[in-house]
């Protein structure tokens, strides 16, 4: 896991603990990265099995 992926994972984890899904704008503001970089890192985390998305409940599963 790269430093950016670790940071993104930690942001999603912390926001999920407070029952709030981070929006793309939240992630862009908190990381300072572009949408493409965030999407690529998120896809990598999903491929690694660190994250998954529950479509029914619209939440991240960590």
Position 60 pLDDT exceeds 90: no
Give 12-56 pLDDT, tens digit per residue: 999 988 888 898 999 999 999 999 999 999 999 999 999 998 888
What pLDDT does 39 receive? 94
Across the strands, what pairs with 2?
none
For tokens 């942001």, name the residue: 11
Indicate which CATH number applies to the domain containing 12. 1.10.10
CB 12 within 8 A of CB 51: yes
Query: For every residue of 29-50, which 3-state class applies, written as one string?
Result: HHHCCCHHHHHHHHHHHHHHCC
Range of the domain at 13: 3-61
CA 15-33-1 angle, to 5 degrees, is: 70
The 8-class DSSP code of residue 22 comes to P
Q: What is the number of domains present in the chain?
A: 1
């Amino acid at each position: 896991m790269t430093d950016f992926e670790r940071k993104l994972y930690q942001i999603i984890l912390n926001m999920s603990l407070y029952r709030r899904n981070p929006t793309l704008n939240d992630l862009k503001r908190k990381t300072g990265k572009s949408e493409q970089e965030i999407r690529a890192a998120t896809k990598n985390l999903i491929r690694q099995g660190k994250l998954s998305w529950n479509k029914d409940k619209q939440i991240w599963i960590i």
